[in-house]
Amino acid sequence: MDRHLEAMAALADQVFCFYDMLDAGLNKGRGLVFEGGSVLVTFIFQENNRTKEVSIMEITEAIRSRRSIRNYQDRLIEQEKLMRILEAGRLAPSARNLQDWKFIVVREKEKRQKLSEAAMGQPYVAKAPVVIAACATHTEYIMPCGQYCYPIDLAIAVDHMSLAAMAEGLGTCWIGAFHEDKVKDILGIPETIRVAVMLILGYPAESPAARPRKKLEEIVAYDSWTD
């Protein structure tokens, strides 16, 4: 069986479970669209006489298809999509379930321009319709392994959001090159809070090729370290 069809079949149970939830509160017309090229499932349903769409991409395909996007369409992100992306971050795991984060969603053009300047003048920070500043609210906890937990926790949450954005047909780019003090000043962030990373997102205006990755045997060892 074609792998796209296999993915569709694997999603079928989720589809019907999703419909069951919709029926409980909607009892309206509904539809389903498969896009085999990207293994995308789009749920179409009616609520309060308005047609709504919810799309789910098979997770492996989202991982394979994700790219760092630096060129965006002049198009706003629908609030429903943005909320689903933020929800993906909210559901991310964290050390001791501290959930040691706050995500500042920046949509104002003037502030995005200032953030672009604080990010070494990277122009795409201003051009993306949404910038999310991922902030750590608790920065003192060190795990028994000796690592601070907040950079790891925020990386997991932001990666959840970047994959959720990909599933929504949006592009993202992680921004780590910025002056933290300037970002704090622009967004009114307290001194005790750390800004670990920014995520820009929007509808892509480019389709870059995949970057090279090392072979699996170069990065994986079993049971003990090997060179």
Confirm or reject CATH 3.40.109.10 for domain 66-207, answering yes or no: yes
Q: Say if residues 169 and 37 touch (Cβ distance below 8 Å).
A: no
Q: Is the pLDDT of residue 76 over 70?
A: yes
Q: Say if residues 195 and 184 touch (Cβ distance below 8 Å).
A: yes
**CA-wise closest residue to 33 among 13, 53, 51, 14:** 53
The structural domains of the chain, with segments of one domain joined by +, span 1-65, 66-207
Backbone φ/ψ region at 169: left (φ over 0), alpha (ψ -120 to 50), beta? left
CB proximity list for 73: less than 8 A, separation 6 or greater: 202, 203, 204, 205
**Bridge partners (DSSP) listed for residue 202:** 171
Q: Is the pLDDT of residue 80 over 60?
A: yes
pTM over 0.85: no
CA 209 to CA 100: how far, in whole Å? 35
Q: What is the pLDDT of residues 181-227, one digit of tens each?
A: 999 999 999 999 999 999 999 999 999 999 999 999 999 999 999 99
CA distances from 55 to 1, 163, 206 (A): 23, 13, 21
By residue count, the chain amounts to 227
CA distances from 39 to 146, 194, 198 (A): 40, 37, 28
pLDDT recorded at residue 59 = 82
What's the whole-number mean pLDDT along residues 75-88?
97
Between 183 and 20, residue with greater pLDDT: 183
pLDDT recorded at residue 152 = 98
Q: Residue 60: which pLDDT band, with cuts at 50, 70 and 90?
A: confident
CA 88 to CA 90: how far, in whole Å? 5
Q: What is the pLDDT of residues 154-184, one digit of tens each?
A: 999 999 999 999 999 999 999 999 999 999 9
CA 101 to CA 106: how far, in whole Å? 16
CA 159 to CA 31: how far, in whole Å? 30
Please give the backbone phi and psi of residue 173, each rounded to the nearest 5 degrees, phi first.
Answer: -150, 130
